Amino acid sequence: RKLGYAIVGLGSYGLGIIIPQFKNCKNSKLVALVSGDAAKAKRVAQEYGVPEKNLYNYQNYDEIRNNPDIDIVYVCLPVSMHAEYTIRAAKAGKHVLCEKPMAVSSAECESMIAACRQASKKLMIGYRCHFEPYNLEARRIARAGEIGKLRYFRSEHGFNFRDPNAWRLKKALAGGGSMMDIGIYALNAARYMTGEEPTAVYAQETTDRKDPRFREVEDMIGFQLEFPSGVIGSCQSMYSANQNHILLVGDKGRIEMEPATGYQGNRMWVGGNGRDKEVTPPPGPGATQWAGQLDHMAQCVLQDREPIVGGQEGLRDLRIIEAIYQSAREQKRIVLKA
């Protein structure tokens, strides 16, 4: 059976990446659109066969409650709008898939989790790498001990931001800078690759406040994560250089990925000597990482299971990001609460 999705926000991710993926899904179909631009919504609806009665805007959004076609709402809006549109969806009796980062603060994450729990609705966060074959295989190899006892994790994630007017550079809309948007991939990977939760963080920030892009949010943050096993994570997040890399070093070998978390074209090398042996992973759970993600949420609803990347996963990252910002601001190591 296919469950019906409403996509909220027809931007580069919602429209450009997610909507074209329903054709690859087994349990998910596109049934409704929510947009502030009626003409755009109509055009997209025609292209993808969405009935006109299933088009909503931000004002009449709550009326989705009366539409049985919609099972799941997928929030693809700027970060500051995630909490509001998740909570309104839950109150309208819909399950929610919300993009990363989950919200601008851990307090907002907690209110989203509470709203979904109160409405008995599932909440999942759009951590697509948990459905991406290279990341799944690297995690399997690392956790199976194939590179021995893990010693350290390294990851650099960034891109060179061009548009100084983008919402991602406005603190009120994005909640923060590169750490919230792209550094979160390094942080989340450090957690899922090691299978551990960090106990302390130490971070440094470098931002040129005279650069018109960085009047409100940070450019570069370097952060260290301490894990209970003794593994150290060293990560860089930036909005001023293109980087997409993961390195896991164990006492018997290493796993290197570059690009590590891309939409496509990821590559991985496993072994003892640098990039000697390139590895192609087995297929992931879906035809693509997005189909795997969309269908996982649908299956969780159909089978009454908790998503593997639920609200708690988004909340954990936000709590650590808040500690990273605090560490950079106060120039001291921050111990994380268990």
Hey, which residues are catalytic here? Answer: 100, 185
- For residue 332, give the amino acid letter: K
Note whether 185 and 259 are within 8 A (CB): no
- Closer to ligand NAD at the Cβ: 30 or 150? 30
Note whether 73 and 94 are within 8 A (CB): yes
Binding segment toward ligand NAD, per CB under 6 A, in 10-18, 148-156, 231-239, 319-327:
10-18
Report the distance separating Cα 185 and Cα 188, nearest Å.
Answer: 5
SS3 of 29-66? EEEEEECCCHHHHHHHHHHHCCCHHHEECCCCHHHHHH
Helix (H) or strand (E) holding 208: none
Note whether 245 and 189 are within 8 A (CB): no
- Count residues near ligand NAD (CB under 6 A): 18
Which residue do the tokens 């991710």 mark?
13
Q: Does 99 participate in binding ligand NAD (rule CB under 6 A)?
A: yes
Q: Does 259 participate in binding ligand NAD (rule CB under 6 A)?
A: no
- Closer to ligand NAD at the Cβ: 128 or 254? 128
Q: Does 64 participate in binding ligand NAD (rule CB under 6 A)?
A: no
Mapped onto helix, strand or coil, the DSSP state of residue 241 is strand
Return the axis-axis angle of helices 82-91 and 106-118, rounded to nearest 10°.
10
Q: Does 126 participate in binding ligand NAD (rule CB under 6 A)?
A: yes
> What does the block give as tokens for 129?
């790498």
Q: Does 128 participate in binding ligand NAD (rule CB under 6 A)?
A: yes
- Closer to ligand NAD at the Cβ: 77 or 187? 77
Q: Does 48 participate in binding ligand NAD (rule CB under 6 A)?
A: no
DSSP code at position 282: P
Question: Distance from CA of residue 296 to its chain's centroid?
Answer: 15
Strand order in the sheet with 240-250: 268-271, 253-257, 240-250, 150-160, 232-238, 220-226, 200-206, 334-335
- Closer to ligand NAD at the Cβ: 13 or 48? 13
Which residue do the tokens 């194939």 mark?
146
Minimal CB distance residue for ligand NAD: 11
CB of 79 to ligand NAD, least distance (A): 5
Q: Does 36 participate in binding ligand NAD (rule CB under 6 A)?
A: yes
Find the binder of ligand NAD among 12, 59, 264, 273 (CB under 6 A).
12
- Closer to ligand NAD at the Cβ: 141 or 298? 298
CB of 261 to ligand NAD, least distance (A): 8
CB of 99 to ligand NAD, least distance (A): 4
Q: What totals of helices (H) and strands (E) does the chain contain, helices first?
A: 9, 14
Between the CA of residue 86 and those of 9, 197, 254, what are the distances in Å?
Answer: 13, 26, 40
Find the binder of ligand NAD among 79, 109, 125, 136 (CB under 6 A).
79
CB of 319 to ligand NAD, least distance (A): 18
Find the binder of ligand NAD among 69, 111, 148, 167 (CB under 6 A).
167
Q: Does 307 participate in binding ligand NAD (rule CB under 6 A)?
A: no
Q: Does 205 participate in binding ligand NAD (rule CB under 6 A)?
A: no
Beta-bridge mates of residue 328 = none
Find the binder of ligand NAD among 7, 45, 77, 203 (CB under 6 A).
77
Contact residues: ligand NAD, CB under 6 A: 9-14, 36, 76-79, 99-100, 126, 128, 167, 173, 181
